[in-house]
Amino acid sequence: MPIYTRKGDDGTTGLLFGGRVPKDSSRIETNGAVDEAQAAMGMARAEAAPGSELDGLLVLLEHDLYVLMAEVATADENRHKLVAGTSLVTAAMVEELERRIDELTARAAMPAEFVIPGANRRSAALDLARTAVRRAERVALGHAVAGSLVTTYLNRLSDLLWTMARWQEGDEHPAARRAGKTGERS
């Protein structure tokens, strides 16, 4: 089966559960921004040791973004077809991000001052992913749907990625050296 379908040559793209929209619609702009964020998270994952805690966490988060993109790619009249946790972002998914933020914050020193990214390749990649997620959150506001948790999820995900970057800095960050807290890194 070829990768090209020619269906989008007219400037439209298909939605989940049917329908087509222009490729520059806010819905598709949102999914494009989330796709970029997911790719940036993949770059961060490429810096992790295979099978490590960081690797596993990033895989889970990247899978969650497929759920989020499915929700965004569904026309409003088909939202009733979405399945919680499979094609619809849930409160439990947001709460899991908060739980992970709290857990990592307890394990690694968190700076009180502004952070200059780049202490190491893992933390720099996570900071880049965080900024991509923040952009996706801003773009998603242009397609906000009442009752949807898409923007809430993206907001917490960017917070988690910031926390993960600090965790991966370990003792390479001045706040960690002052606190004597390093945490596991990989």
Tens of pLDDT, residue by residue over 119-134, are 999 999 999 999 999 9
What's residue 175's pLDDT?
55
d(CA 35, CA 39): 6
Q: Which of 139, 155, 129 is nearest to 62 (CA)?
A: 129
Axis-axis angle for helices 53-72, 150-169 (nearest 10):
160
What's residue 112's pLDDT?
85
d(CA 174, CA 132): 25
**What are the residue ranges spanned by the domains of the chain?**
20-107+117-171
- Ranges under pLDDT 70 in the chain: 171-186
Tell me what the pLDDT averaged over the chain comes to: 92
- Partnered with residue 12 across adjacent β-strands are 22
Domain 20-107+117-171: assigned CATH number:
1.20.1200.10
Q: What is the pLDDT of residues 42-64, one digit of tens each?
A: 999 999 999 999 999 999 999 99
What's residue 185's pLDDT?
47
What's residue 57's pLDDT?
98
d(CA 147, CA 90): 10
d(CA 26, CA 104): 34
